[in-house]
Structure 1
Amino acid sequence: MIESLISDILFGFIGLISIINPFSGAFVFLDRTATLDDEGRRLVARRVAINAFFVLLAAFFVGTPILHFFGISMEALRIGGGLAVAVAGWQMLNAPEPEPAPVDHPVKPISPGAAAGKAFFPLTIPLTTGPGSIATAIALNANRTHKLSAWLLSSVASIVISTLVMFVIYYVYSRAARLSQYLGVDGTRVAMRVSSFLLLCIGVQIILTGLDGFLTPIADLHAAK
């Protein structure tokens, strides 16, 4: 039983952290918080991590019933969410290079209220826990059994996975500026462009996955006739 729990946790954590890819997302986060000071950026990183925790928990526990209630298929979730991610990546990829601020130019502090709003959209959804991670979380528990012991183990695994992902997101995002310092100005600009391009590609891939899931049964149906 314990071995099965550990296996489920490792499988879910590795799958989600690979899709979220916080190391690439750190440069997107840095770009969206470029006007904030270090304390403000840490505050936003903490809010993003906490938001991601609750988004994943919601996807784990109530994702499937919500989709069924609104009549939304997994394919529609992937296509719509992938489009949102692709548009965000395209906008960032084509954004003009920001002019470097003067040395004595003050950075902008951020209030807790502003941090909460900025952290949820677009930093948490769709840029961190987007349709790919939400669909993955839903899929991980899509076949959750109603047997009490198995349900409890699955619930514990879901909570532990969400907690681990939360800590990784906060650790990486809160140190995005330090990573940028190591890379330098030119290296950071290149990394941001690459991250934006990868974000665009991820969005397109999510759309293609949704289209494949939608069109394959139709093609199979016509082939069977």
Structure 2
Amino acid sequence: MKALFDNYFAFATTVFMGLLAIVNPISAIPVFLELTSNMDLKGKRNIATKSVLIAFCIISIFSVAGKLIFHVFGITLAALRVTGGILVFVVGYEMVQGNTNKSENPKLGTQPIKADQGISVAVTPLAMPLLAGPGTIATAMSYSAAKDLIHMGIVIAVYAIICYGTYLLFIGGQRIVKVIGSNVMMVITKMMGLILAVIGVQLFALGVRELLNF
């Protein structure tokens, strides 16, 4: 029983580190603050809630339907790992180089945000691609498709924890930026990018090894 628990805990830790690095909610704080700068606290909470819920639904669907998608389109897990590894590495490399485009989204904070515009902001760019981009989807599918239902549940639960943490970061984003400063946020982003690039290489190498064994 202890060995089984240790196995689940190790898997959950690996999934958490992988998804946390690729989502990198801290680097999304400036984008959220900019897009909601003209809104009151209630409006910001509304947008934050919608964005994390939409992102969670996207990842949950792809995690649960991963094997079905593989079957329908004839995709192998090895091929997904190779592709996902490349995507994850590219995202991590851009984060390390400081070329991430997360800060290049439309500046909506300078004008009033209506209800319909608010849900649009929650979907894009907050939910997609910041919180549930292609790299996140590929990583979640790779982790969940390779294991049983318990491991799939762990992937979804871990991402739910990350989404909740992201919500808290969004709400307290203004204070966080003032406390740690933009330079520290940049350092954290680059560290996350390095971890992400390593994870991408590992996924790519594992996928190539599995493909060569076919």
TM-score after normalising by structure 1: 0.63
CA contact (8 A) 1:93 1:197 kept: no
Q: Deviations over 1:146-187 (max 9, x none)?
A: xxxxx5x5676565444433322211222111111223xxx2
Q: Distance in 2 between matches of 1:15 and 1:112?
A: 38
CA contact (8 A) 2:89 2:196 kept: yes
**Alignment-derived partner of residue 177 in structure 2:** 180
Letter in 1 for 2:86: I
| Most deviating of 65-74 and 19-28 | 19-28
What is the deviation of 1:71?
4.1
What is the deviation of 1:134?
3.2
Q: Which protein has the larger Cα radius of gyration, Structure 1 or Structure 2? A: 1
Structure 1 residues 71 and 164: alpha-carbon distance in aligned structure 2, compared to 1, 3 A threshold: same
CA contact (8 A) 1:35 1:108 kept: no
**Alignment-derived partner of residue 25 in structure 2:** 25
Q: Distance in 2 between matches of 1:46 and 1:93?
A: 19
Structure 1 residues 175 and 205: alpha-carbon distance in aligned structure 2, compared to 1, 3 A threshold: same
CA contact (8 A) 1:49 1:169 kept: yes
Letter in 1 for 2:28: V
CA contact (8 A) 1:5 1:157 kept: no
Task: Report sequence identity in percent.
Answer: 19
**Alignment-derived partner of residue 110 in structure 1:** 113
CA contact (8 A) 2:92 2:196 kept: yes
What is the deviation of 1:86?
4.6
**Alignment-derived partner of residue 34 in structure 1:** 34
Q: For this pair of structures, how many residues does the alignment match?
A: 200
Verify: 1:191 aligned to 2:184, yes or no: yes
Verify: 1:44 aligned to 2:47, yes or no: yes
Alignment of 1:33-72 (within 5 A): 33-37=33-37, 38-39=40-41, 40-72=43-75
Alignment of 1:122-141 (within 5 A): 122-131=125-134, 133-141=136-144
User: Structure 2: where are the runs of 5+ without partners?
Assistant: none
**Alignment-derived partner of residue 164 in structure 1:** 161
